[in-house]
Structure 1
């Protein structure tokens, strides 16, 4: 499984535009084959930081996502929306299990 965590600092003046693009991106991404989870969220400490939590079945699903029209559209718009450098971390996970609280 491939897991991605990304944080995008969004220009406050372009936040609404970014959220519209992200909502469309998330809806279409969730329908992709091999997508386990695709969750964009706003940071509770800074609402202008959008965090993505993504889980893919495998490398093929991850690569296919990056080639979709909806991802390419978002990637092309992103530089104009950012207020700083994104932070993206990729994890390759061999196993995962639920944790009871």
Structure 2
């Protein structure tokens, strides 16, 4: 069995959102505003948001942070608190997040 590479401190976070019916366009616009702000954070190595072509109410996030502290910092930014917590999350029917390490 291969051992985990503990020398890579990066943290990968994935998120899956399903928005309430009729909120697809509003959430997409919020995320278009949010994305460049998140990508510009010093601890963010990769940050992409995808909208499902056949089910536009579904969004998938792929995020790579320099470590757990960078992820914590991300959640304390004004743009995360305002756009994600304050405006987008209330429009969601479902939100799932998972964290991964590189092997």
2:7 matched to which residue of 1?
none
1:61 matched to which residue of 2?
70
Aligned residue pairs, count: 93
1:47-95: CA deviation from partner (whole Å, max 9, x where unpaired): 110110000011121111000011001112234211x2211111133x5
Deviant stretches of 4+, over 6 Å: none
Structure 1 counterpart of 2:61, from 31, 52, 69: 52
Which protein is richer in strand relative to its size? Answer: 2
Question: What is the DSSP-based 3-state SS (H/G/I as helix, E as strand, rest coil) of the residue aligned with 1:50?
Answer: strand
Q: Normalised by the size of structure 1, how large is the TM-score? A: 0.83
Cα distance in 2 for partners of 1:85, 1:15 equals: 13
Structure 2 counterpart of 1:41, from 33, 38, 50: 50
Gaps of 5+ in 2: 1-9
Displacement after TM superposition at 1:12 (Å): 3.3
1:19 aligned onto 2:9: no
> Greater shift after overlay, 73-82 or 60-69?
73-82
1:98 matched to which residue of 2?
none
2:81 matched to which residue of 1?
72
Cα RMSD (Å)? 1.4
